[in-house]
Amino acid sequence: MTTTAAALTIAGSDSGGGAGIQADLKTFSALGVYGASAITGITAQNTLGVHGVEPVSPAMVAAQIAAVLDDIGIGAVKIGMLASPAIIAAVAGALEGYAGPVVLDPVMVAKSGDALLEDAAVETLAQRLLPRADLLTPNLPEAARLLGTAPAGSAAEMTAQGRALLDLGARAVLMKGGHAEGPVCTDRLVTRDAVIEVAAPRIATRNTHGTGCTLSSAIAAELAKGAEMEEAVRRAQAWLHGAIRAADELGIGTGHGPVHHFHEVWT
Per-residue pLDDT tens over the stretch 212-234 = 999 999 999 999 999 999 999 99
Is 208 a residue of the active site? yes
- Contacts of 117 by beta carbon, 8 Å cutoff, 6+ apart: 81, 82, 83, 106, 107, 108, 109, 125
Angle made by CA atoms 121, 7, 31, in degrees to the nearest 5 = 120
For 33-42, 100-109, 238-247, which range has the lowest pLDDT when averaged over its residues? 100-109
Is 210 a residue of the active site? yes
Residue 115 in this model has a pLDDT that exceeds 80: no
> Quick one: pLDDT at residue 179?
62
* Amino acid at the residue 56: V
> Quick one: pLDDT at residue 108?
78
**Catalytic choice (9, 137, 208, 214):** 208
Is 27 a residue of the active site? no
**Catalytic choice (17, 20, 80, 212):** 212
Q: Do strands 173-175 and 184-190 pair parallel, antiparallel, or not at all (unpaired)?
A: antiparallel
> Quick one: pLDDT at residue 122?
85
> Quick one: pLDDT at residue 114?
57
State phi, psi for 264 to the nearest 5 degrees.
-95, -5
Cα–Cα distance, 212 to 52 (Å, whole number): 20
**Catalytic choice (176, 177, 185, 214):** 176
Does CATH number 3.40.1190.20 belong to domain 6-249? yes
**Catalytic choice (27, 43, 47, 211):** 211
Angle made by CA atoms 191, 195, 196, in degrees to the nearest 5 = 110
Q: Which residue in 157, 152, 244, 234 sits closest to 199, CA to CA?
A: 234
DSSP for 153-187, written as a single string: -SHHHHHHHHHHHHHTT-S-EEE--TTS-SSEEEE
Is 205 a residue of the active site? no
Cα–Cα distance, 194 to 249 (Å, whole number): 38
Helix 20-30 to helix 211-224 angle (10° resolution) is: 40
Cα–Cα distance, 4 to 237 (Å, whole number): 23
Q: Which residues of 227-244 are buried (b: 16+ CB within 10 A; e: fewer)?
A: bebeebbbbbbebbbebb
**Catalytic choice (9, 213, 214, 257):** 213
Residue 186 in this model has a pLDDT that exceeds 60: yes
Is 185 a residue of the active site? no
Please state, in angstroms and as integers, the Cα–Cα distance from residue 122 to each residue in 85, 102, 117, following that order: 8, 18, 7
78-98 confidence digits (pLDDT tens): 999 998 899 999 999 999 999
Q: What is this structure's pTM?
A: 0.95
Is 212 a residue of the active site? yes
Are the CB atoms for 200 and 241 separated by under 8 Å?
A: yes
**Catalytic choice (17, 18, 210, 257):** 210
For residue 195, the tally of other CB atoms under 10 A from its CB is: 15
Residue 50 in this model has a pLDDT that exceeds 80: yes
